[in-house]
Structures are given as structure tokens and as C-alpha cells.
A and B are shown apart, each in its own frame.
Chain A
């Protein structure tokens, strides 16, 4: 397969999503509003039933709860989005009867899943970060605000790479089991808990901390959270986490190629359950 084909796939994915948002404008509005709702809800519950002093005491660092949850919600919604979209697409294709066509297409399933979903992920995650630009600039000022938004963008891009492979592994399992819905939906909140999205991973029990260490989202969240620490972010820490995420990317994406290959073979041999 030539490089040009990948480009065409990427362009197709981009065009598909552009027309989707163009035609369903209220859906577009939903993507802007939804992260705000999660963010507002957890902060409102926290401030009603507790206080920011208690938050800093529990977290054990000088952390701004608003920025802490801004980073958490942006990364959590982007990560969930990629997992739901890739795994959910298998289910939707099965519903609509197009799964057989995808399996029979000249592209490998893993290639289709990954390349077609990159534009959607980038578009949706960018929208979710951009929707938080006004409050971040308002709270942090122009210079610090832009730095923190840049860190969030970086975390989002680097964090996407291992998640693509991880989600494709889940999608390949869905190819061979006969269920009407995405039976891995529960994995997303579980991953968020172990990654410390809404509760820092270092406050979790020892066994949970071990699981959190093998999840890519833990490092993506840590990278994004460097912007919630009051003061300048530590560059060495950021570089270290990027390197770690790239290493995990190789591991998960390599595994995804093997898994999807096997799942494709099983699906082609036994027929795709419609």
C-alpha cells in the first residue's frame, strides 16, 4: 500500500467528520457543552459538600482544583471519545450491515480504524480544549493561559497514540463476540479511575497504583496536570512523560496489529454476525 492511500483515507475521515458536524450543528454544540457539564458538575458537588482547602490538603500539593479538573476533564473526555468511537464503530457497522464491506475492503481493519478515527479524535479533542480557552485565559492570564493550553494540546496529541492501539485491541475482541452493544463501555470509567482522572492515582491503594502504571492514560493525565500546579511547569518531567508515552505507543500499537489480524481471520472464517 502506498503512502498516498493512507493520505486518502485520512482525507476521507476528515471530510466525513466535517460534513457530519456541518449537517448536525446541534451535535456540534453538544460536543462543546458536554465537557463543561462534567467539569461544572464535579466542581459544584465538591464545593457544595466540601472546600478547596480540603482538596489541597488531600492532594498534598499546591494545586488549583479548577485547573486540576479542567485538565482531567479535557483528557478524560478525549480518551473516552477515542475508545468509544473506535470500539463503538464496530457495533454500529454491525447494526447497519456495513461491517462485511469493511472487512472485505483492501485496507486492514486496524488501518481503517486508526486512520479514519484520527481526524475525528483531533477534531473533537481540539473542540473540547478550545471550549476551555476562555476560562483558562480568565483564570491564568494571557501568557500562563497560553502555556497551559499548549501543555493540554501536547498531552492530547501524545496521549492519543497509545490509545489508538489499545482501542483497536478492544474493537478486535468485539469483532468475535456476539453482542448488540459495546460491552467494553465499562472499561472507560474503570480506566479513568485507575488513571487518576478524578482522584489522584497516588492516593489509590497499592494494587490499584500498580494497574495505573501500565495504563497510557495515567501518563497523559499526569502530563496534562502539570498545568494545574501553581507555578511554572517542570520541563524535565514533561519530556520524561512524553518519552514514556511514546514507548507505550509502540507496545500497544504492535499488539493491536497482531490482535486485529487474528480477529479478522476469525470473522472472515465464521462470517460476521449481523
Chain B
């Protein structure tokens, strides 16, 4: 298993350099979508406030990371299917879902390039420093836990699309609802709704990130979000494992329908 992971990581790094134009394309595309949302929202503001822009930037970046993971991990199964690699891996007794883990290299690379580019543009256009935040450690911790959740989320989307023959995009659209939860301030909600919000997957990590930007509002909610950020990662991993086993068993028993899948 260790050898397989080593190969997966090595091959994904190789792909990253081989398909450098695809990487630049992804990063530029994501950067431009973030800019679209930011300038679209700024149209509703009389004067762009620094604090609001910084918060908006990090929330949209976190949400875009979820979308990128859904697309780069979830959508990659379309490519894998089209070139007939599912069967090739099954014949060699390697789960095609293990290969997907390497996609985190691509999604993280895209996010890093995108964040740097967007930060630069915001600094130039609005004269706002996106790194002017309260606690960088909380921001990094929020992103770290978000990345872990996103790996399993992307894999779950791939497994679901393989198991149900429904393209990843349908499942991927469900993450739109998460953005609405990101902008809700949980400290203004009543118990137990505030706990529920900070305990949900992704929202828990984004709450950590928001505390890193604006400062700590409630230690109880911060502790809960920290705890649930890790619990959610583990839960998503368990769900991914169960689904992968079930779908693989089904594919090995009934065969795999690659034609008409997309």
C-alpha cells in the first residue's frame, strides 16, 4: 500500500509538470471566478470596507477550494473512465479510488496559485492587504482541516458518480448550499442552532478560518468547531471507505458501465 501511495504521489507530481498549461488554466479560471464574485458583491457596497473584503475573500477562497476539490477529484473519474483506466486498475487489484488521493496535489497547487494571484489583484485594485488578519495560525488550521475534508468529499463524489452513473456535477452542485452557511455568523444564533452550524462538515473549518480573520467571538464555539473539524474529517473518511467497498464490490460483481456514463 505504501508503494502504491508513493507511486500515486510521484505520478501526480509528474502530471502536474507535464500538464503545466492545464494547471495554469485551472488556476487562472478559479482566480477569475473569485474576482467575479468579489466585484459582483462590491457592486452592492457604497465603499469597499477593508474588513468586509478580507472576510469575503477568505470565505470565497475556502468555498472555491471545496469546488476545486469536487471538480479536480470528482471530475477526474470522468477522464479515468473515458481512457479505460478503471478496468486496468481493477485487473491489477488496485482500487481506482486510491489513485484519486493524488489529486489533492493538483487541487492544493491550484488554490495556492489562485490565492496569491487574487490577493495581489485585491491589493492593487482595492488597496487591501488580505494577510491583515487576527491570527494566521487559526487560518492555516482552518485550511488544513478543510483540505482533509475536501479529499474525502471529492472521493465520495467520484464513488457516488461511479456507483449511480450520475455525473459528479450533480453532487458537486450541492456544495453551493455550504456558502450560505459560511456567511451566517453562528455567534448570533441561538443554542443549539449555533452548535449545529459549527459542527457541520466544511462549516466547522470555515468557522476556524473566520476566527483567524476577525478574532475570537466565542471560545465555546471555537472549541466545538476545532473538535468537529477533525471529527468531520474522520467521518468523511469512514463514509468514503464504506461507499468505496460497496461500489467496488458491485462493479466486480456486475461489471462497470463506462459507455453512456457522461
Contact = CB atoms under 8 A, between A and B. Distances in A.
Nearest to A190: B32
B166 A26 contact: yes
B169 to A, nearest CB: 6
Contact of B29 (A47, A96, A185): A185
Contacts of A37: 173, 176
B44 A59 contact: no
B74 to A, nearest CB: 13
A120 to B, nearest CB: 14
Contacts of B176: 37, 40-41
B190 interface: no
Nearest to A91: B79
A179 B21 contact: yes
B37 A42 contact: yes
A200 B84 CA distance: 45
Chain A interface extent, by class = 35 or more
Given A23-B260, A95-B82, A186-B32, A57 B25 contact: no
Chain B, interface SS category: helix
Contact of A45 (B25, B32, B40, B165): B40
B225 interface: no
A179 B56 contact: no
Interface in B32-55: 32-33, 35-37, 39-46, 52
B134 interface: no
Interface centre among A26, A45, A180 (most CB of B within 10 A): A45
A26 B171 CA distance: 10
B260 A55 contact: no
Nearest to B75: A181
B22 A45 contact: no
Interface in A34-88: 34, 37, 40-42, 44-52, 54-55, 57-59, 65
Rank and list the top 8 A-B pairs by shortest CB-CB distance, nearest first.
Answer: A50-B44, A46-B44, A189-B32, A186-B28, A198-B40, A95-B82, A186-B29, A50-B45
Interface of A: 23-24, 26-27, 29-30, 33-34, 37, 40-42, 44-52, 54-55, 57-59, 65, 92, 95-96, 177, 179-186, 188-190, 192-193, 197-200
6 contacts: A27-B166, A44-B180, A50-B42, A50-B45, A177-B21, A192-B36
